[in-house]
Structure 1
């Protein structure tokens, strides 16, 4: 009788254990940008974070403009916990209450970030976790000399070997705004830039996409182009002798931000994810894999990588940012005017 009671008790215990629900893992929903970027994002951030904190991270591919549109549409019940932007949309998202403010002291890596990376926190924006600097790409084997300034684009030494990028490309737009600035203009007054570019059109090629940029350096004897440091690395991997130079007048850049979405229940976990993205180890990985510049001053890079990105106090001091709200407001008119200019 005792044995039977024990057997029954054992069966009930097993049944009870089977009936007990297994606790679900915490979950985050984030966006990434697809392609090679998303592959590296998973390798450096997403998968290590899931392993460290034993959580699930769902990734939805959504580029910045689409991500902002989704946040707006889902404002009452957003699906994202962390949203990444690369086009300045965090400024708009913060103003519209779509993202929540983060205090620097809530991030263990906050104290080590360069000032430009935390400047937006006071406005409710997320921190900058990586930078794609815009400068001058040049063919070190063919160009008669190494450029040093944006103004060198008008040096006769480079005539007939210049590549310009269409303004529908973010890198091209920032490059144009820098040329306009060098010539004395600003976002509200792009005339100096367009006049200066008009003078270059007779001795340059205009491209719209990155593959076209590569084709011109590989096949069409291009020597110099305003473009991004990460793409200089892409060209070198393709076997081309291309180097990146910061123009002495300043270095505009694409600032990649990680933002805390408002009205979500697991913001503490989301902050940990953002903080993880800011660690020196992760940022060294971005620099090594894609040649993005780190925003954490504690990041250590080997000499080869350090020479190919904007790295260190002195180099970072040259970074500048055009007002993303003003740029977004002017974008359509600038692109339309550009199209008319190059169609002549």
Structure 2
């Protein structure tokens, strides 16, 4: 009789241990960037989430497009729960059926994001959520340019002859061409007005530079006095002592945005949604973006005075311009071809 009482108790103990082991082994897999970006996410978001929930977050590091391609290769049996990517890569992935829509009832933090921070499909479902933005504005040398640059149209001023560098459609989502096109009254469906607008720069246009390092070098060495640049690269240059100023032009500025998305049919969607909600919270994203010196999409995030120096004000945030990611993806190769024929020969390099 004693044996019959002991055996169920032992079985119950084993079952309890197994249950605890299963709970402790709960894991989600996140595909995101490595380096400085991955370090900030790991220390300021993943570690606190693991401590608060007991859920382990396993990270796979890679560039945005590479991670999306990995998810595509796993379509039949996804092993990744979450991915962080650029909006253009995420939009393509969602259109290909690789991502699942986000339900605001399951992810309450979505309600804290501005309308521009939650990209939606044709039916109004949230495709993915913005983490941070990096405006593509203008940086100029304050020791070289007598009259402050305040607007995109200032790049066409006579006093900037042989002193302007720009980027082609293959860089930063074609933003420079699209802004020139916007000034000229064009649309994503027809960028011919923008190409003509760029041609009117004439001798002002000295270089086409399609990477931040090249832009920083040319501005730092005084080869160009003004160049459109993403905010994070611009502030890095200023921090290094280059006498320069970064501005959101009067006509507004496009902004790159990186997003977090839920992989369709991922292995642990419940905990993955918990992570998205935790990550997008004002306190969490404030800590991550402070480390990266970048602007959080969640405008409820409280910024330290030092962090605020590197971010977009509420007034400038409202002036950020968005363009259609599907239109950019569809047109960029054709726009680049036209640029190579019509614009590239204008420059000295």
**What range is the shorter-chain TM-score in?**
0.7 to 0.9
- After TM superposition, give the deviation of residue 335 of structure 1 in Å: 1.9
Three-state SS of the structure 2 residue aligned to 1:277 is helix
Q: 1:335 to 1:39 in 2, by over 3 A?
A: farther
Q: 1:242 to 1:106 in 2, by over 3 A?
A: farther
What is the correspondence of 1:311-322 to structure 2 with a 5 Å cutoff? 311-312=313-314, 314-322=315-323
2:196 maps to 1:195: yes
Three-state SS of the structure 1 residue aligned to 2:78 is coil
Three-state SS of the structure 1 residue aligned to 2:127 is coil
Three-state SS of the structure 1 residue aligned to 2:200 is helix
Indicate which of 261, 264, 271 corresponds to 2:263: 261
Q: 1:62 to 1:278 in 2, by over 3 A?
A: same
Alpha carbons 1:125, 1:259 under 8 Å: kept: yes
- After TM superposition, give the deviation of residue 269 of structure 1 in Å: 0.8
What is the correspondence of 1:232-271 to structure 2 with a 5 Å cutoff? 232-271=234-273
Cα distance between partner residues in 1 of 2:338 and 2:227: 21
- After TM superposition, give the deviation of residue 271 of structure 1 in Å: 0.9
- After TM superposition, give the deviation of residue 262 of structure 1 in Å: 1.1
Cα distance between partner residues in 2 of 1:140 and 1:304: 22
Range that drifts further, 199-208 or 229-238: 199-208
- After TM superposition, give the deviation of residue 272 of structure 1 in Å: 1.4
2:116 maps to 1:116: yes
Q: 1:303 to 1:332 in 2, by over 3 A?
A: same
Range that drifts further, 314-323 or 196-205: 196-205
For structure 1, the 5+ residue unaligned runs are 1-8
Cα distance between partner residues in 1 of 2:288 and 2:140: 23
Alpha carbons 1:165, 1:208 under 8 Å: kept: yes
* Partner residue in 2 for 1:59: 59
Q: 1:145 to 1:277 in 2, by over 3 A?
A: farther
**RMSD of the TM alignment (CA)?**
2.7
Cα distance between partner residues in 2 of 1:196 and 1:118: 32
Alpha carbons 2:87, 2:259 under 8 Å: kept: no
* CA deviation string 1:171-218 (max 9, x = no partner): 6x2122111211222222212222222233533222122111111111
What is the correspondence of 1:23-62 to structure 2 with a 5 Å cutoff? 23=22, 24-62=24-62
Cα distance between partner residues in 2 of 1:320 and 1:289: 25
Indicate which of 284, 287, 298 corresponds to 1:285: 287
- After TM superposition, give the deviation of residue 42 of structure 1 in Å: 1.9
Cα distance between partner residues in 2 of 1:51 and 1:201: 58
* CA deviation string 1:112-143 (max 9, x = no partner): 21121134273340111111111111222332
Cα distance between partner residues in 2 of 1:182 and 1:293: 26
Please report the TM-score for the alignment, with normalisation by the length of structure 2.
0.85
* Partner residue in 2 for 1:305: 307
Alpha carbons 1:105, 1:111 under 8 Å: kept: no
Three-state SS of the structure 1 residue aligned to 2:139 is strand
* Partner residue in 1 for 2:331: 330
* Partner residue in 1 for 2:340: 339
Three-state SS of the structure 1 residue aligned to 2:218 is helix
Q: 1:74 to 1:175 in 2, by over 3 A?
A: same
What is the correspondence of 1:143-292 to structure 2 with a 5 Å cutoff? 143-170=145-172, 173-200=174-201, 202-203=203-204, 204-292=206-294
Alpha carbons 2:131, 2:296 under 8 Å: kept: yes
Please report the TM-score for the alignment, with normalisation by the length of structure 1.
0.87
- After TM superposition, give the deviation of residue 330 of structure 1 in Å: 0.7
Range that drifts further, 266-275 or 63-72: 63-72
Range that drifts further, 264-273 or 83-92: 83-92
* Partner residue in 1 for 2:93: 93
- After TM superposition, give the deviation of residue 101 of structure 1 in Å: 1.5
